[in-house]
Amino acid sequence: MANLFVEENGPQPPKRLKAPVEIHASLRMLMDSHDPLVITFDDRNQRFQSFVVAVNRERNLIALDELIPNDGERFLQNGEAFRIEAFHEGVRIAWECRQNAYFAEIDGARCYWLPVPDEVLYHQRRNAFRASVSQGQPVAVEIAGEKLKAPIKGNLIDISATGCKIRLDGNASDRLQPGQVYERFTARLPFGAITLEVELRHVHFEEKVGVSFAGVRFLQVSGLVQRNIERFVYQLQREARRFEKDELF
């Protein structure tokens, strides 16, 4: 059944974008989609999260949001080189920065201005169909594990054979850590609940709506759980295609 979730184009070889118009378009896409950035400094194991908050094409600069955890700011102040990695709908976008950051503010919030990179790695990697879950028929989820004092509850936004995006109640960004593994992730699918181990890829709190959005990658998936996930993805895919067909006529 796995071949049902392979996109028609499949994974593509990585491209190196060097044209300014392509690089600016990729950075603006990350900003508009509010995709999280994972930042790692040379010779350091810790990972930090940020977001693109501005792209200034005239000055050839981009602005990053404050780093999470914020102790990464001192590495920026020291002028340490770092790498940035982000994912947008299955596309990996990555680049290196060896120039010093310029500290400033946008609308009263601290930010870091950096030169637009000369080269960006653009890699279409996803080979799993990602299906959206209708909010009219919500699928409840729960994250629990030794690192959490209490389970965090929410709903499924979309899901593929390898991971999912979820909406969580309240501000979960101070309780969840990107890169952390949580032993018990439960999703109550229509035909029964599944529980498995997940790695948190990113988390962001939207203050305006009072909810958090997070992405997780499935780990240590048993054969039965994998089949149930694929069954659910296929069901969503089939419903989406039926809806598109109905819209045409």
Which of 43-47, 89-93, 191-195 shows the highest mean pLDDT? 191-195
Query: How sure is the predictor about 126, in pLDDT bands with cuts at 50, 70 and 90?
Result: low
Q: How confident is the prediction for the chain on average, in pLDDT?
A: 85
My answer on whether 31 and 136 are in the same domain is no
Q: CA-CA-CA-CA torsion for 113, 121, 22, 67, nearest 10 degrees? A: -20
Helix (H, G, I), strand (E, B) or coil at 203: strand
Please give the pLDDT value at position 125: 59
Write out pLDDT tens, residues 50-61: 999 999 999 999
My answer on whether 112 and 145 are in the same domain is no
My answer on whether 41 and 61 are in the same domain is yes
Q: What is the 3-state secondary structure (H, E, C) of 73-139?
A: HHHHHCCCCEEEEEEECCEEEEEEECCCCEEEEECCEEEEEEECCCCEEEEECCCCCCEECCCCCCC
My answer on whether 114 and 144 are in the same domain is no
Which CATH number goes with the domain that contains 91? 2.30.110.10
In a domain, 3, yes or no: no
Which CATH number goes with the domain that contains 221? 2.40.10.220
My answer on whether 30 and 94 are in the same domain is yes
Query: The domain containing residue 80 runs over which residues?
Result: 9-124
Q: Which of 98, 124, 150 is the last residue of a domain?
A: 124
In a domain, 159, yes or no: yes
Report yes or no: 31 and 54 within 8 Å, Cβ to Cβ. Answer: yes
Q: Cα–Cα distance between 60 and 21 in angstroms, integer?
A: 11
| Average pLDDT of the residues in 86-107 | 86
Please give the pLDDT value at position 208: 80
Report yes or no: 164 and 185 within 8 Å, Cβ to Cβ. Answer: no
Query: How sure is the predictor about 11, in pLDDT bands with cuts at 50, 70 and 90?
Result: low
My answer on whether 146 and 109 are in the same domain is no
My answer on whether 28 and 115 are in the same domain is yes
Please give the pLDDT value at position 221: 87
Please give the pLDDT value at position 95: 96
Greater model confidence, 114 or 129: 114
My answer on whether 242 and 170 are in the same domain is yes
In a domain, 21, yes or no: yes
Query: How sure is the predictor about 197, in pLDDT bands with cuts at 50, 70 and 90?
Result: very high
Q: Which of 124, 143, 175 is the last residue of a domain?
A: 124
Please give the pLDDT value at position 7: 40
In a domain, 35, yes or no: yes
My answer on whether 63 and 147 are in the same domain is no
Report yes or no: 152 and 212 within 8 Å, Cβ to Cβ. Answer: no
Please give the pLDDT value at position 4: 35
* CB count in 10 Å sphere of residue 32: 11
Q: Which of 82, 103, 124 is the last residue of a domain?
A: 124
Q: Which of 116-120, 224-228, 237-241 is predicted with the least confidence, judged by mean pLDDT?
A: 237-241
Please give the pLDDT value at position 243: 59
- CA angle 131–137–141, rounded 5-degree value: 75
Please give the pLDDT value at position 247: 43
Q: Is the pLDDT of residue 9 over 70?
A: no
Structural domains in the chain (count) = 2
Q: Cα–Cα distance between 132 and 10 in angstroms, integer?
A: 19
One-letter amino acid for residue 229 of the chain? I
Q: Cα–Cα distance between 215 and 209 in angstroms, integer?
A: 18
Which of 3-12, 68-77, 83-92 shows the highest mean pLDDT? 68-77
My answer on whether 100 and 136 are in the same domain is no
Q: Cα–Cα distance between 193 and 230 in angstroms, integer?
A: 14
